[in-house]
Homo-oligomer: A and B are copies of this chain.
């Protein structure tokens, strides 16, 4: 099976940009990726695009063709939606299309516009990623759901609010040099601990912010990259997806994320690598506890052991395995339909050595991205490798 090369990547700044339309946001990311790739406009054969809540935020469905136009492309375009994993699944469809021999050049990415809505409406809109009949009607929102998962984790494996605060502190520190990040300022453990409670045990600084933004990646076949002499040293060598029951009540355990276990297992097998090979990771830390569970699902830490990783410095920029050098969803921001693509963008730059935090890494070869939807009812994992 051929690897799929990454020929160009692009992002908007992440943050509050309520005056910008979705098409404006995606155009910026897409044109940046296209410019970096330098592939002729008419070579693009498809757009695979992720968006979660555009039907509510902008009353705009059918965004595929709209975003192809915004990207300056004349090609088939499809929107994919798996809640906060929407761009992850979009990248995955692009990988399939190239591996199927259907296409050689595909644009993938995503966009979310959120801050044009009042915050309560954002929370209600995000809640459509949960089970409407059995969770939302009972009053469940995502901070509450992740609080349940955090409580279950603490009960099962131990851990404390302070452990989680170290995750937030780490990711804020990583965001400082990243010009695309929403919160480029350091925070302290004390600040995190003292921030407003949201849903016990989670406080405000355990949660990612509400963000507008877009991401885009130009994916090409190995053959195309070689024939056209493209500078595309990083490849997607593994892709995996997992699923779980949508409602938490239907799960066997709340402290584990088996959808991510399955996605990771599939992605590693696809790439022919093992967790030990991974040099750097970008994971879906919509809440601090989510980063902990992600690292265990990815096999980067044993069950019950990732909780202390940030506190002990194992996942900080100076640690053995830097995690979320971008700043993560926590500090970089989380425009939900763009996030899975943004992780690929950040990881590509980290592996190429041209990321604002590249000095934290020494000759990285293998990176992994972990993108989750809802309470990890969907999970997509990609393995990226330096191939030349």
Q: Which of A49-73 contact B (CB under 8 A)?
A: 52-53, 55-56, 58-62, 64-66, 68-69
14 extra interchain contacts, Cβ-Cβ under 8 A, other than A65-B374, A99-B100? A53-B55, A53-B61, A61-B81, A62-B129, A62-B373, A64-B82, A64-B243, A64-B378, A65-B259, A76-B259, A79-B80, A80-B81, A96-B97, A96-B100
A99 to chain B: closest residue by CB: B100
Contacts of A64 in B (CB 8 A): 81-82, 243, 378
A242–B76 CB distance below 8 A: yes
Contacts of A65 in B (CB 8 A): 82, 243-246, 259, 373-374, 377-378
A60 to chain B: closest residue by CB: B132
A52–B59 CB distance below 8 A: no
| 5 A-B pairs whose Cβ atoms sit less than 8 Å apart in the complex | A55-B55, A65-B378, A66-B246, A78-B89, A102-B239
Contacts of A244 in B (CB 8 A): 65
Contacts of A138 in B (CB 8 A): none
Contacts of A74 in B (CB 8 A): 243
Question: In the complex, A245 Cα to B66 Cα: how many Å?
Answer: 7
A interface SS class: mixed
A242 to chain B: closest residue by CB: B76
Question: In the complex, A55 Cα to B244 Cα: how many Å?
Answer: 20
A245 in contact with B69 given A61-B129, A262-B76 (CB within 8 Å): yes
A374–B250 CB distance below 8 A: no
How many chain A residues sit at the interface, stated as a range, is: 35 or more
Question: In the complex, A1 Cα to B100 Cα: how many Å?
Answer: 8
Tell whether A231 is near chain B: CB-to-CB under 8 Å.
no
Contacts of A132 in B (CB 8 A): 58-60
Question: In the complex, A325 Cα to B60 Cα: how many Å?
Answer: 33
A241–B96 CB distance below 8 A: no
Closest Cβ of chain B to A253, distance in Å, is 15
Question: In the complex, A46 Cα to B58 Cα: how many Å?
Answer: 30
Question: In the complex, A59 Cα to B136 Cα: how many Å?
Answer: 10
Tell whether A131 is near chain B: CB-to-CB under 8 Å.
yes
Tell whether A75 is near chain B: CB-to-CB under 8 Å.
yes
B55–A128 CB distance below 8 A: yes
B76–A78 CB distance below 8 A: no
B377–A246 CB distance below 8 A: no
A137 to chain B: closest residue by CB: B59
**1/0 per position for A367-379, CB-CB distance to B under 8 A?**
0000001100110
A78–B82 CB distance below 8 A: yes
Question: In the complex, A373 Cα to B78 Cα: how many Å?
Answer: 11
B101–A62 CB distance below 8 A: no
Contacts of A47 in B (CB 8 A): 243
Closest Cβ of chain B to A344, distance in Å, is 17
Tell whether A40 is near chain B: CB-to-CB under 8 Å.
no
Contacts of A101 in B (CB 8 A): 1, 99
B76–A62 CB distance below 8 A: no
Contacts of A99 in B (CB 8 A): 100-102
A60–B128 CB distance below 8 A: yes
**1/0 per position for A88-99, CB-CB distance to B under 8 A?**
010001011101
Contacts of A373 in B (CB 8 A): 62, 65
**1/0 per position for A232-268, CB-CB distance to B under 8 A?**
0000000101111110001000000001001100000
